[in-house]
């Protein structure tokens, strides 16, 4: 399982040089190499920073926002695939997920890349990623209101959550964002505009509410546009309860 932490912002001046950032989005901490990889979506690039360094190094992109193989367009999330020495990048405005071999200047498409749409070989403003131990990539396909799974080498994805249009029924999501997958292949997803965290058991046609679902609000059993989530080693669930400006911790029964 690949661990990721997203949407923690470093305050810095707006600049295109590698010692500053334009707009920070997702980032990934490589503890082994003591490196932080950061999506700078404004300048369409990923920059890596060695611990305590004063300037970053270009890891991917930074060649404008076109359709060439050395370009990105609003990278928003990333994960490192240590087994294959690669970055897996959610290239939001190109509606694709790409693999960028560390040290290379070009990317290959992992998922999407067939224009904006809701066919299983397409994505629409994807946002968050999760990679499992089999190198399958899970994608929050946000504007399609679904979560897709792309097996390594596949030409199209598999629907694992939502995909029934936006709505609040148990088989629907509304602009899903952060998402993780447990050891049972159950998908946990921040159902942002339904103000709840949903769980989809593998193979199920609808999910169940594990946190929230009690309307938009500030009470302990409520959320307000949740953005992201993660488990700790004891499988406590932490939720970035974005519009409430707080992080909440929940004990979740995985069975």
| Level-2 CATH architecture, domain 1-113 | Beta Barrel (2.40)
pLDDT digits (tens, 9 = 90+) for 74-97: 999 999 999 899 999 999 999 999
More confident residue, 18 or 169: 169
Q: Is the pLDDT of residue 252 over 90?
A: no
- Separation of alpha carbons 255 and 250, rounded Å: 15
Q: How confident is the model at residue 16 (pLDDT cuts 50, 70, 90)?
A: low
Tokens 């190499």 belong to residue: 33
pLDDT digits (tens, 9 = 90+) for 116-157: 999 999 999 999 999 999 999 999 999 999 999 999 999 999
Quick count: other Cβ atoms within 10 Å of Cβ 3? 12
Question: 125-147 in b/e burial notation, b at 16+ Cβ within 10 A?
Answer: bbbbbbbbeebbbbbbbbbbbbb
- Look over the chain and give the mean of its residue pLDDT values, rounded to a whole number: 90
Show Cβ contacts of residue 173 under 8 Å, excluding neighbours closer than 6 positions.
145, 146, 147, 161, 162, 166, 189, 191, 194, 198
Q: How confident is the model at residue 171 (pLDDT cuts 50, 70, 90)?
A: very high
pLDDT digits (tens, 9 = 90+) for 98-111: 999 988 888 999 99
Prediction pTM value:
0.89
DSSP-derived 3-state class of residue 43? helix
DSSP 125-153: S---EEE-TT--EEEEEGGGTEEEEE-TT
CATH 2.40.10.500 domain residues, the chain? 1-113
More confident residue, 64 or 249: 249
CB 58 within 8 A of CB 49: no
pLDDT digits (tens, 9 = 90+) for 191-209: 999 999 999 999 999 999 9
- Separation of alpha carbons 252 and 234, rounded Å: 10
**pLDDT score, position 19:** 65
Which CATH superfamily, name and number, covers 124-255? TolB, C-terminal domain (2.120.10.30)
pLDDT digits (tens, 9 = 90+) for 151-163: 999 999 999 999 9
Edge-to-edge strand list for the sheet holding 208-212: 176-181, 187-191, 196-200, 208-212
CB 79 within 8 A of CB 130: yes
**pLDDT score, position 6:** 46
CATH 2.120.10.30 domain residues, the chain? 124-255
Q: How confident is the model at residue 187 (pLDDT cuts 50, 70, 90)?
A: very high
Q: Which long-range contacts (CB under 8 A, 24 or more apart) does 203-206 make?
A: 205/171, 206/169, 206/170, 206/171
């Amino acid at each position: 399982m690949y661990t990721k932490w997203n949407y923690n912002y470093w305050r810095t001046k707006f600049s295109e040089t590698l010692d500053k950032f334009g707009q920070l989005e997702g980032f990934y901490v490589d503890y082994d190499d003591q490196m932080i990889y950061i999506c700078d979506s404004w300048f369409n690039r990923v920059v890596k920073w060695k611990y305590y360094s004063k300037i970053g190094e270009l890891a991917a992109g930074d060649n404008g926002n076109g359709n060439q193989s050395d370009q990105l367009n609003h990278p928003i999330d990333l994960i490192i695939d240590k087994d294959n020495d690669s970055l897996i990048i959610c290239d939001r405005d190109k509606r694709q997920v790409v693999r960028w071999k560390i040290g290379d200047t070009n990317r290959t498409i992992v998922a999407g890349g067939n224009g904006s749409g809701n066919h299983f070989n397409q994505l629409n403003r994807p946002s968050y990623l999760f990679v499992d131990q089999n190198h399958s990539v899970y994608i929050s396909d946000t504007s399609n209101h679904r979560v897709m799974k792309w097996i390594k080498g596949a030409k199209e994805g598999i629907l694992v959550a939502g995909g029934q249009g936006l709505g609040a029924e148990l088989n629907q999501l509304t602009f899903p964002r952060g998402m993780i997958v447990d050891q049972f292949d159950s998908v946990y997803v921040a159902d942002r505009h339904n103000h709840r965290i949903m769980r989809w058991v593998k193979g199920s046609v609808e999910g169940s509410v594990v946190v929230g679902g009690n309307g938009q609000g500030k009470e302990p059993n409520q959320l307000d546009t949740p953005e992201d989530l993660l488990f700790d080693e004891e499988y406590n669930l932490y939720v970035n309860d974005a519009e409430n400006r707080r992080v909440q911790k929940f004990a979740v029964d995985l069975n």
